[in-house]
Structure 1
Amino acid sequence: MNLLLNEPWIPVRRRDGSREWIAPTRFSDTEIVAFDADRPDFNGALAQFAIGLLQTTTPADSASQWRKLLATPPNAASLAEWFAPVLKAFEFDGAGARFMQDFTLKADDGTVNDIGALLIEMPGENALKNNSDHFVKRGQAASLCPACAATALQTLQLNAPSGGVGHRTGLRGGGPLTTLLVGQPPGGLWRDLWLNVQERSVFLASCGDAGKVGEHLRFPWLADMSAIQKESGETAPAQVHPDHLFWAMPRRVRLDLDAVASGQCSICGRESDRLIRQYATKNYGLNYKGAWNHPLSPYYEAKDGELPLHPQPGGLGYRHWLAWVLGQTSDKKKQRAARIVSHALDHRHSQLGGGLRLWAFGYDMDNMKARCWYESVVPLYDLAECASGALERIRDEVGLWLASADLAASYLRGAVKDAWFSADARGDFSAVDAAFWSRTEDAFYRQLQALIDRERQAIERDALPARQAWHQVLLHTAERLFDGEFVGAGQVERQNPRRIAEAHTQLKRNLRGPKLLGALGLPVPEKKPTKAARKAA
């Protein structure tokens, strides 16, 4: 029996709140609303597994076919027909090819690791050797059921961070940011998956060589790695089929499915008589280089071309909205939205049938160390119903709001630092930025919804009042945080009144100054002439 395509191994949540495990042929069940794994990174991996499976097998090749399947999902029998040609690629067990596992590696080859090492946050070899696993302890995932092991393996291959010499990162680097379209209000799992699938010909034309017909060029575990990449070589888009984007395999792993045990899975807690406890691994897997263009990730422009965005300290929030949704171009940064998002906004419009949200998630990695898992859902309102010209105007207007907010945040951060410390002080002031962005988020989305509604209905209105209102939000938020939380709330005996007064005065001056007004596109008052100038006149 094929575990990954025929057996119920995927945890989902039903409309009534109950939990169930399903096979992929039930993705279109209208009673299923979301994935329901025990770890958030597993939910992200399962979503990408499902989208990749549908994109790889869908026969839909026109906008009308795509729209029909959005409105009337295929039944289980139809999905089984879609998946039948790729059954061999999704075998999880057996002596031959196995899903996401090295074709030639044996269970006793290479380095043998405890199964918990598949989890990205688990301490690495050096941490175990130096006994430095203080916060995330070893041995927390001693045995995994086949379902959790398969999900952990998929999660590792998607997010693979740098892991020492020859341990390759994922196709999008270590811990990429993924952005997926989802319904608003939630309309069921099928809709959320299908929103992120493109017409087959559109997808095939985007990256890779659709003329590459070998199955291993779609699913790299179906052959020896050398069939794709020579020893010490690299793997570029032109060497593989576009389907490879979803099934990249940077890590050489082989699960030990012989030395199994009975008991409870360390992650889901279910009983199993096939608990997997270890796996073999080797370095020097597929080395992804070149202009890869993954449909589910936003990209930024670098010296060497476009690179995928990755979560950074500070989390995910409205300051990223423009880059994720419409792209952002300025003197400092050039970023574009994920291909699936751009395609939906540029070509689908009314086909999408209602409001949308964007689900963004990913690991913040420091080389091989996972600092944090970030996840956020941001609203798009009825953006998909706006014409292309309206999207351009929204991009320009929101760009002004975000540029001015970024400037105001820097003014607040500088004022807090000047009030607390001398000029040469160093430290982490990220808490100041986080508080500022959090306090201004509600106002941003209120203004954004009003802007989108106005553009969708083609209502002409002066942009100046909204910009002035946003300026007041920035001004009052920064001053309140300075006075009420960061400086004014401190112990009096430890404060320097003169330094605080000077910092506060400078903050007020900056928030009302020409630089911030100019960033927001507001009129800048003319400078009053000095006494000397008036006297000379």
Structure 2
Amino acid sequence: MSLLTEDWMPVRYRDGCRAWVAPSELADPRIVAFDADRADFNGALVQFAIALLQTSTPVVEPDDWDFWFEDPPDSATLTAWFSPLAAAFEYDGEGARFLQDFELRAGRGVSFEIAGLLIEAAGEQSVQRNTDHFVKHGQVAGMCPHCALTALLTLQINAPAGGSGHRTGLRGGGPLTTLVLCHPQRSLWHDLWLNVRSRSEFLASQGDPRKAAPHFRFPWLREIGAIQPDGGETSPLLVHPDHVFWAMPRRIRLDLTDTGLGDCDLCGRHCDRLIRRYETKNHGLNYKGPWNHPLSPYYETKEGWLPIHPQPGGIGYRHWLAWVMGVATQQKGRRPATVVSHFLAHLFPRAKGQRRLWAFGFDMDNMKARCWYEATIPLYGLADCQPEAQRQAQAEVGRWLAGAELAASCLRSAVKEAWFGKEARGDLSAVEAGFWSRTEPEFYRQLESLITSLRSDGDGDSRVDRLPVRAAWHRNLIDTCESLFDGEFVGVAAIERQNMRRVVKSWHRLRANLRGPAIRKALGLPDAEGPGTSNKAKGASAAPRAS
């Protein structure tokens, strides 16, 4: 039974109808997106599809890429691309199975309920202590083979810390994934193809292309020892470049013997082979070294570059620069995903039209999933700008974000001081979330205007005065912080419940900080005119209103 021939991938057609298709149907122009019942499954399916195309594509030259973007392949063509890989995508039988440990058999590991494949599933300890308050156990007792395999795929991609010897994914637990999408929407094929490079470019990126044996590409085709010595590590040079897409940190084998009739607890479809359990064992492939997954942005540390993971607070415009253009400062280095930088540098001029960035992933606290985040952010026509103009955009947006980060910190400190005093501790993430949400529309308006201006300037005329734009952004930051302080967080509370001395003090401090030299320097604005400006700002307005 093969994932290359069965209709196992849920998709949504342009008219809103839902269907299940085989990978060879992915270029059907009627299909616009994957349509699984879980957001993390959709994220895993799109990564599977990109991986399959990148692994099988015959594209060698840029012109070949252009051809398939404008004239998508038919089902027979995709079948021909995929057929040489058929042995790696069988998921049944006594031999090698897709993403399942080659050696593991019933009784050689520990048996778990099938729900354990889900990232958010309650652990054994939570069930025993009855602390599974929000994610109850027992909700998923059986899955159809297609949902079970999608859950397995999702786990291998996102594998969090799972106890002694249960490895995390190649990018760590719950990595952030960023993909380029068409805007407006065209078809699923166009979205997938924007994230596929020519075969020659991909093979030159990392790994050892000379390791041609199939198990160096698809690790489930042989025992672990054929790739990684006992107790050792798996680095990029030990495997083929394709391996980065098909990493298998967890040793798992689905139990296909103890099955039965019933409805799948995930997709709801009736199934005559409902899977209830799986076998697992520790000490899978231990991914270490300079891996560079093409679908993830990275940040710089003393030890090297590490993949970025979603954090509390979600996804917003504060991530735009790092995930689209990268950041290079003494304090922090960020670089975009390879598919994003490659698109902006090479594909954008050929694939005409606006594009967006789709970012998604789990916010993990060790082995506990706190939240699933996903969002799309605009790319605009940045790639149409000349290199010097792009550098100017990078520097200018960096100033805006530096000023915004300082403003958010000022607001958070002021609200904390007004509510509790300076020394108090607690979660004030809602304050910063409100700030980032409120300032986002203006950021994107200014960003689009900046990029339009840089495109019209050609090579980016450095003589253009950007001070009015920075001053407008500064004014927006001030207005937003003062409005949130007075109208959302502090000023709306009943006066008898507040310490007005503390409120007034924090209000004046907020106003002074928002107009002070630190934020002006971050924004690249000149010092405020006249002596004593900071003191004037402190007393320039009345204290916030109280209800």
Q: TM-score range by the shorter chain?
A: over 0.9
Q: Give the residue type in structure 2 aligned to 1:487.
A: V
CA separation in 1, counterparts of 2:106 and 2:41? 24
CA separation in 2, counterparts of 1:224 and 1:16? 46
Shift of 1:107: 2.8
CA separation in 2, counterparts of 1:330 and 1:316? 22
Shift of 1:329: 1.9
Cα-to-partner distance string for 1:39-82 (whole Å, 9 max, x where unaligned):
00000000000000000000001111111111111111110010
- Report 1:351-370 matches (<5 A): 351-370=350-369
What secondary structure, in the 3-state scheme, does the structure 1 residue paired with 2:361 have?
strand
Q: Give the residue type in structure 1 aligned to 2:413.
A: G
CA separation in 2, counterparts of 1:382 and 1:325? 12
Structure 1 position 491 matched with structure 2 position 486: no
Q: Give the residue type in structure 2 aligned to 1:436.
A: F
- The worse-fitting range, judged by mean Cα deviation, of 497-506 and 51-60 is 497-506
Cα-to-partner distance string for 1:79-106 (whole Å, 9 max, x where unaligned):
0010011000000111110000000101
CA separation in 1, counterparts of 2:325 and 2:271? 46
What secondary structure, in the 3-state scheme, does the structure 1 residue paired with 2:443 have?
helix
Q: Give the residue type in structure 2 aligned to 1:479.
A: E
In structure 2, which of residues 502, 510, 515 is the aligned counterpart of residue 512 of structure 1? Answer: 515
Please name the residue that 2:141 is paired with: 142
Q: Give the residue type in structure 2 aligned to 1:203.
A: F
Shift of 1:527: 5.8
What secondary structure, in the 3-state scheme, does the structure 2 residue paired with 1:417 have?
helix
- Report 1:269-284 matches (<5 A): 269-284=268-283
Cα-to-partner distance string for 1:211-242 (whole Å, 9 max, x where unaligned):
11110000000000110011111100000000
CA separation in 1, counterparts of 2:46 and 2:482? 42
Cα-to-partner distance string for 1:249-300 (whole Å, 9 max, x where unaligned):
0000000011111111011101110110000000000000000000000000
Shift of 1:352: 1.8
Q: Give the residue type in structure 1 aligned to 2:435.
A: F
Please name the residue that 1:410 is paired with: 409
Cα-to-partner distance string for 1:431-457 (whole Å, 9 max, x where unaligned):
100000000000001111111111222
Structure 1 position 89 matched with structure 2 position 85: no
What secondary structure, in the 3-state scheme, does the structure 1 residue paired with 2:252 have?
strand
- Report 1:212-227 matches (<5 A): 212-227=211-226
CA separation in 2, counterparts of 1:48 and 1:349? 21
Q: Give the residue type in structure 1 aligned to 2:468.
A: P
Shift of 1:125: 2.1
Shift of 1:385: 2.0
Please name the residue that 2:545 is paired with: none
CA separation in 1, counterparts of 2:467 and 2:25? 51
Q: Is the CA contact 1:28–1:189 (under 8 Å) kept in the aligned structure 2?
A: yes
Shift of 1:115: 0.3
Please name the residue that 1:293 is paired with: 292
CA separation in 2, counterparts of 1:438 and 1:224? 49
Please name the residue that 1:312 is paired with: 311
Please identify runs of 4+ aligned residues in structure 1 that moved more than 4 A: none
Q: Give the residue type in structure 1 aligned to 2:6.
A: E
Shift of 1:422: 2.1
Please name the residue that 1:466 is paired with: 469
Shift of 1:332: 2.3
CA separation in 2, counterparts of 1:192 and 1:387? 25
What secondary structure, in the 3-state scheme, does the structure 2 residue paired with 1:253 have?
strand
CA separation in 1, counterparts of 2:408 and 2:260? 55
Please name the residue that 1:247 is paired with: 246
CA separation in 2, counterparts of 1:350 and 1:184? 15
What secondary structure, in the 3-state scheme, does the structure 1 residue paired with 2:167 have?
coil
CA separation in 1, counterparts of 2:91 and 2:146? 10
Q: Give the residue type in structure 1 aligned to 2:290.
A: A
Aligned CA distance change for structure 1 residues 137 and 151 (closer, same or farther; 3 Å): same
CA separation in 1, counterparts of 2:424 and 2:532? 36
What secondary structure, in the 3-state scheme, does the structure 2 residue paired with 1:140 have?
coil
Shift of 1:465: 1.5
- The worse-fitting range, judged by mean Cα deviation, of 322-331 and 288-297 is 322-331
Please name the residue that 2:485 is paired with: 482
What secondary structure, in the 3-state scheme, does the structure 1 residue paired with 2:7 have?
coil
CA separation in 2, counterparts of 1:146 and 1:49? 17
Please name the residue that 2:14 is paired with: 15
Cα-to-partner distance string for 1:473-524 (whole Å, 9 max, x where unaligned):
1000000000011100112111111111111111111111111111101111
- Percent of residue pairs bearing the same amino acid type: 60
CA separation in 2, counterparts of 1:141 and 1:39? 13
CA separation in 1, counterparts of 2:351 and 2:474? 34
What secondary structure, in the 3-state scheme, does the structure 1 residue paired with 2:364 have?
strand
Cα-to-partner distance string for 1:101-148 (whole Å, 9 max, x where unaligned):
000101332110000000000011221232221111111111011111
Please name the residue that 1:62 is paired with: 61
CA separation in 2, counterparts of 1:329 and 1:123? 40
Q: Give the residue type in structure 2 aligned to 1:10.
A: M
Please name the residue that 1:384 is paired with: 383
Structure 1 position 268 matched with structure 2 position 271: no
In structure 2, which of residues 494, 501, 506 is the aligned counterpart of residue 503 of structure 1? Answer: 506
Structure 2: which 5+ residue stretches go unaligned? 534-547
CA separation in 2, counterparts of 1:454 and 1:336? 25
CA separation in 2, counterparts of 1:25 and 1:353? 26
Q: Is the CA contact 1:352–1:384 (under 8 Å) kept in the aligned structure 2?
A: no
RMSD (Å) for aligned C-alpha atoms: 1.2
Shift of 1:388: 2.1
Q: Is the CA contact 1:175–1:365 (under 8 Å) kept in the aligned structure 2?
A: yes
- The worse-fitting range, judged by mean Cα deviation, of 273-282 and 518-527 is 518-527
Shift of 1:529: 7.3
CA separation in 1, counterparts of 2:54 and 2:179? 14
Please name the residue that 1:25 is paired with: 24
- The worse-fitting range, judged by mean Cα deviation, of 407-416 and 417-426 is 417-426
What secondary structure, in the 3-state scheme, does the structure 2 residue paired with 1:358 have?
strand
Structure 1: which 5+ residue stretches go unaligned? 531-537
CA separation in 2, counterparts of 1:466 and 1:271? 59
